Structure 1
Amino acid sequence: MFIIKPNWLSHQDDRETPLSIFSVSVHPDGSRIATGGLDGKVKIWSVAAMESEHENEGQPRQLCSMSTHNGAVHAVRFSPGGRFLASGSDDKIILIWERDTSGAGLGLSFGGDSTFENWRSVRRLAGHDNDIQDLAWSADSSLLVSAGLDSSIIVWHGHTFQQLKRIEGQSHVKGLTFDPSGKYFASASDDRTVKIWRTNDFALEKSISTPFENSPLTTYFRRLSWSPDGNNIACPNAMNGPVSSIAIVQRGEWSSDFSLIGHEGPAEIVCFNPRLFKQVQEDGTETLGSTIVVSAGQDKVVTFWNTTQSKPFLITEELGLKSVSDLTWSANGDKLFISSYDGSVALAVFEPGDLGFPQPWEDNIAALAKYGHGQHGMILPESVQQLELEALAQKAAAEATVKKMDTLMGGGEIEDTQMQDVMPIAAKPANSNSATAAPQAISQHVEKIVDKRVEQKVTVDSKGRKRVAPTLISNFQGSSTPARLPDSTPRPSAKVNGTTTEYSTPSNALPEGGVEGLIIGNKRKEQDEGDEITAAHRKKGKVTSAEEIPDWIRPAVTNPAIALSQTRLGAPKVKALITYTNDSTLVLEIRNSPNVQTPTRLICKREGETIWTDYIPRSVLTATGTKNFWAVATEDGSVYTWNIIGKRLFPVIVLESQSSILGSNGWWLFSITVAGLLYVWDMKMETAAHTPASLAPILDSATTFESTPKKTACITNVAVTNTGVVCITLTSADSFVYNGTMLVWQRVSEPWWAINSLYWDSTRLGIPGPLGSLERRTDMEFMKHGRGRAFQRMVKGGLRREGFEGLECIASLAHLENRISSAALIGSAEEYRSATLMYARRLGEQNFQEKVKGLCQELLGPQLFIENHHWKPTVVGIYKRELLKEVLEVMGGFREVQRITTEYSEALQAISEMS
């Protein structure tokens, strides 16, 4: 390891007096760092210049200097994607900077500083009422969190930078950090607590106060850090008796039994290395998955720790004349940047083996997989049941022998024997020995660490650079056996947060795992295909004979349509008692008879009082009802209907087979039969929404080779909107809507958007509606079957290929376009409006002028430019020209498209005057 401290890197006043640097951040590509200081400037510096062997190479040092803030800059943070730089200041403002690669305006910036890069302020976030102390980005750059001395935390959207949530009453918040799996973020404040917040609803998960009860209030920052494997949070400014310490909070139970002791004064900053390391001990044994954390505080000492030892393995003293203000690691984990209140920045460069040997990035992803890493819209909190499901999916994936694409896109059912094998492993608690040994080992050496500093071996090479040799604490006299930080097992409450659904749910609860089905493919047989894919499909699919069709009802005469149908779904069991409560206080009680000679009795009650009674000759499989009508489906394929007071609405509806699923909403009633046919009726108008539709297309019949019945994706959710549109979600995480006008199924939600789109999370954070519910269902199914990591590998691999650099941007636009058309199809007015405004803002940001014209023209109507025969003045209850006014207002702030927006504003005004 060697340390570089360039004398030219500083913030200065007019008299060239060094001023305090409060924050430092390194770009993800490692080429530049940003600093913020007391002079109110944000400066960009070249890392290559800091590492340069010769000072006269002519290489630029300071790349840019921005002086837009009106107060000291306390926090600068590059987004993990590298596109944005956020800065927070005493002026209560957050500025979002983006590099302008056009080359215009380079030379001298305002104030006389040389400029080799042009960074422009693209957003000005005003929301805090006092100084901003810290900023933090989520790992996927989808969220930005800010905190300050106004005792509030504000969550901003990471791409649109709209304010999503304001959390009040936290005392002075002085530190923020994000869970690398994206499910939580943590804050540290002067009320002597560390709070854990959920990212799905921004509610408080846990408040931790025990380690900080006696902590001093003299610290300027409380910058905490989350470990790269997601297991631990390192929290500064804690106390272990009378000794200053760093508390290690373990994920799940959020306990803080472990602490790091070694600083003489309060610690203000801790920072985990982003890599996992393999440590090789002196006896040759290897330890995988160790993490490195560095801490600094008011004692001007920077201390390095790892999880395989109870003591610091390296201590560096007097790096600056004053205390350390911030720490940040490069993305590769081989460089540490250290800023100080004395106005300097030091660079510590580690050579191979100094910290250990970094493990592949895939190990980080694997470590985070158990916490749901890779899912943008994660809804379910962590629970033992969730971890069991994920362990089960991982075991099934390991045993699969299909080709890579089948592994990425497919997913089969898992037998009960596999569940029994995996569940004890998933529920096994973490080893408690390490949790007790580590504190004991620390307490035995507190005096030696505090009283005796490690003597650094400093050498000067031929080029004049100082090198500090790392000294392992195990080499000291009196060292004990190293102890590990405990591996935590997440064990929070197993409750599941409910989500608001704007459309109906099926009347009978679908069984766990969904409704099973079989399907017969409509492709030619394998030998006719002549490609290499057939072998993989032959290995993957289990061919099930016709005799193995699930039979969940009493033995009865099989309808011939079942044997001939392409799709075969499971039927509900015949239960002795079925009850259903409609939208009001009424309850329908159905009592089936054990024999066919006795009729089935139906009783409608209100608060125990019988309203009406009826009898039917067949046993009931399922029932549904609204405040307008009741409906039941029987085992002979009939559907009976009554109004709310018990009058028969129609003669009995006779279907080709039994109803597998029956549901309703308002005046709409739908049935999905075991033959895979969908019927939708308007009970008030006595009409059908469309002709019967087969579920075979959405169950992958077009991609199935076998001509014999084969298992397919299960149906996990079916519902009908108040406009009569049926929505179906499968275990494949895809959601479909039937278009009654075009008479086709359309896929409105799928995992592709969840992985690639920057706007996936914005649905759950915006206006609730049917489309948002479908996307949440996609998230839930996607997580259950453990496909997130596989999709991420596919997408990340594609992004590295030539020609795929713009994949994320293009996919985000495509997702918004898909959301707009889907909202129109479903009939969700508010979702259509919000998606259109997001789309307009994105087009303005990216300067897509042709698409801006197309959007404005579509909303204005056929009067301008060309005749559009498909244009309608209203869509899902929204008048398009009123929406156009909002769109023009959103895009009006983007200079590049102002000419277009002005043109359409004038056209809109002219049409308004004419009318």
Structure 2
Amino acid sequence: MHVSKDKPIFSVDIHPDGSRVATGGQGEDCGKVVIWNMGPIRDEKEEADLSTPRILCQMDNHLGCVNCVRWSGNGKFLASGGDDKLVMIWQTSRGLGSGKSFGCSVTIVEQWRALATLRGHSGDVLDLAWSPQDVWLASCSVDNSIVIWNALKFPDQVAILKGHSGLVKGVTWDPVGKYLASQSDDKSLKVWRTSDWKEESSITSCFEECGGTTHVLRLNWSPDGNHIVSAHAMNNRGPTAQIVERNGWGTSLDFVGHRKAITVVKFNPKILSKQIKRTSEKQQQYSCCAIGSKDRSLSIWLTALKRPLVVLHDLFEKSILDISWSSSGLELMCCSLDGTVAYLGFDQSEIGMPMFKDDQQALLEKIYGKSVLASKATNASSHIIESAAVLNLQQEQQQHRERENSMSGSSVPPKALSAVVATGDQPFKPRDKQIETRTPDGKRRITPIFLAPQPDIGDAGIPAPFTNKSIAFNSSKETSKIITERQDRVTQPGLNVSSNSSQSHSLASPPHHLVNTIMHQPTAVSETKTCITEPGATTPFIPLHTPMDVDKTPVRPVTSTPVSRQESQNDKERVKEKEKERDKDPDLDKTKDKDREKLKGNLSLKRRHGKVGRPRKSERETQMAAMVSHPLPVLAEPERTRPVLTSQDLQLSVPTIQKSSVHLIEGQMGSDNCTTVEVENKLSIGTRQMHRVRCVSSGKVLWEQLLTSPVIAVAGSRQVTCVACEDKTLTIFGVGGRRLWPPLVLGSQVSVLKCTGCYIMAVISQGYLYVWNSRSVCGVIQGQTLSAIMTVSERVIRAALTNEGVPLLTISSGRSFIFAPEIGSWMLVNDRDDYLHVCSDHHRCSPSKGRASGPLASVQGGGSSNQQAGRIFQSDASMQQMSTVSHLENQLASSLALKSASEYCFWLETYIRYLAQEGLEGKLRAVCDDLLGPVYARTSGSNGWQPTILVSILS
């Protein structure tokens, strides 16, 4: 199966119903996910039939290469992860037909849409795994983390697992949902508990000789839950697939035979049984495992045999990256870096008899205990219950809830009630009947049928297995079955017609003067009893004031008969005969005209009296004037309050008190010329405890000080040394250990403490920022709250203080801020989710000397060039140009705010080079005018122009 020439395929996964297969890899200018029809793959006749579609759908939403695709267990969702740091959840769309998508030459047979986009990783997403019962989705990335997503409520995160120190390249779930296993480039395989998301075990001994030579490390758990088989282990300098036992996490066995590193391991989802020994007729149960390697070979193993069942050498031109078994256990597909996918079919005589799903579930319950299937993504309800007491307690709680529901008196179950609301069939009129009446002037009037609007896109549920019949086009030659009812009744304009035969009801509009009465007069609130009516019934309109005169004459039932084509033709002939009689006898015509005018007058009087239908122009003008002179009373809306985050809500972490610690001030730790501060807490001096701070340089003690409160944080520079204590004080020492100021009393304990030159920065646990200048003895920033830049759930992950005294804070959301005391506001200098830097195409205009280092480069991770700009805006050069200009102007402004002279020079030169290259004369002229300044700047000095930038750059 040739998928994409010269484009690698990184992942493949067969749909649970066996009719589709998804592949993910690299497209022309983006990541690509393709859903294929399995029919032509497994059947040569369907492959030869040109009318059978090969591709069902193609999705190009990923900006980077797609590394992994995985179907959910029920087949409803498809998850994909790629180099753009995103995980996308796909679902079928309802109401959309087949055709070609924009920019794609492939005909789309099925429509799939992105249900959710999950953002939580800061690097490429390499592997995905759905938990049993599709409660959670696990994703791993090169950012050394594993994110657990709530699959019942995307995009909520359940946990973030951070224990690996290298790229995490594979994840797999225990078949009973109790554990999660992951493998990383840090030469370890870790097992995590799903009950508290803590590390259960870490296996490292069999990976010590391994190197990070594989793109993925896709390990897998056996279907009986007894073993994990890892990728890329080493035994006597040879590549193996290590077998990790569930009982004790031992590593005594492995699969050997491949010549290069193993990239992927995949177990058959079925537990198999077969007669292995010829001397015994007993059926032996075992598992089947497929292993792919960088040596381009695939091996199939049965755990009951000591040697592989089959080995396929040179199956691809490049290494194997992913393997997928069908839910039946008799089909296997694997993909390679060379852009091809291989299909293998087995029969039961070769690999054994697959166990039925119910029998396999019963076996797992027998081994690990009975499990109450998870209905929510919570730790308490989703793990295997291995204690009988806990199971009995859950069953008692369930019976108690059922008794409460039965005593509530609800006759309609909630599911049934929601089904009635969802279908929407009950409150609408029948669609197989029309009503025809006559107006006073003899014209026919047909009451239209209300058709409920159907949503274009909705939850289509689990997709049905794809067959060629799914795309068959059928045309019906049957005539319309709608029955037309004729009513011998004169219909007035503005009145709705009801039919007894159709059992449909309609509510007419209220009279106009009654509407004005309701709008202009206050209403008295009376106590009324709530009455529940049956669906389809309508409530009669009751006026609040001044009841109308109503004719209480009983209404004669209206009989309706179907109208045929012959009767309609007879009506036309009768109208023509009446016109001929009127031409022959003018007196008769005048008499009828008088009767008609009299009838119209009576009808008009009745309409104006009852105010039914559209009012006259004069009456409408009078009503409008009355509304202007008496405006509607303004109803006060209920006061709505929105919770506002204050600094009192923030609670930052505080360093713990250590008995002794060493803090580096200058140099490199361990070198001869480094300067350190040594802290010794809780020294017993008589009956009291004191706390000593000692400054040591090149092995010599420069000064010592004693404090009365335990030390929790230390920072320093050549000019000053700062010590934060448990009693919420901050003591500042100068050169030689002299106290510069009395202890500064803060509102709470210090969470972050930094010193650069003569500047001191402190962030206290209540979420306030302070910056002092020890040279000028002044406060640069005095108690600025952090509530404007972070929430309660976020934390400060990085803090820095520039040489110019500018505080720089990075929040766990990936955004970095500085505070500018000149304007009294926070400034956003970097955002991890801002794609302007990804889309910028300025790299070819950068100076040859390379990017200058500074605080902006450090917070942006060095600013390595990105290759996505040309791909994203390949069809719109103007958008790419605007994106690049915006990014360069942001960099200039951020460098200026950070007071980084070298970075400002770098970005100014890059900005000018790009403007000159693109021919943006207007912006170039603005830069020159800003640098040159006005002609009379030195004499006037009143326009605010500064002759220097950052003191020593331009003059």
Pick the TM interval, shorter chain: 0.3 to 0.5
**What TM-score results when the alignment is normalised by the length of structure 2?**
0.41
**What TM-score results when the alignment is normalised by the length of structure 1?**
0.43
Larger radius of gyration: 2
Higher relative contact order by CA 8 Å / sep ≥ 6: 1 or 2? 1
